[in-house]
Amino acid sequence: MKYSTMEKLNETPSLLGFGCMRFPKKEDGSIDEVEAEKMLDLAIKEGVTYIDTAYPYHDGASEPFVGRVLKKYDRQQFRLATKLPILKLKN
């Protein structure tokens, strides 16, 4: 795996990130959690340290699923990015 050097932040994220927008799905449209977890596990095993998800991915199921999977890893082992859909905010 190749890594970037971000000296000012003292970070070395992997150049290859893992995007969670297109997890495999079951026939009912839900995330195939068994297969998706295998994919995340393999990515981390192979050195991916940057994981990207967002609120709207998989109709809101991506973030909770990714959180459950990543709980088994040391939090210092990866960097997690997510996006907040500003249009969903209410006053």
Question: In the chain, what are the domain boundaries?
Answer: 7-88
Which pLDDT value is given to residue 87?
80
pLDDT tens figures, 37-73: 999 999 999 999 999 999 889 999 999 999 999 999 9
| pLDDT higher than 80, residue 91 | no
Residues 89 and 78: their CA atoms lie apart, in Å, by 28
pLDDT tens figures, 63-88: 999 999 999 999 999 999 998 878 87
Question: Does the reported pTM lie above 0.85?
Answer: yes
The torsion angle over the Cα atoms of residues 6, 8, 10 and 11, rounded to 10 degrees, is -30
pLDDT band at 28; cut points 50, 70, 90: very high
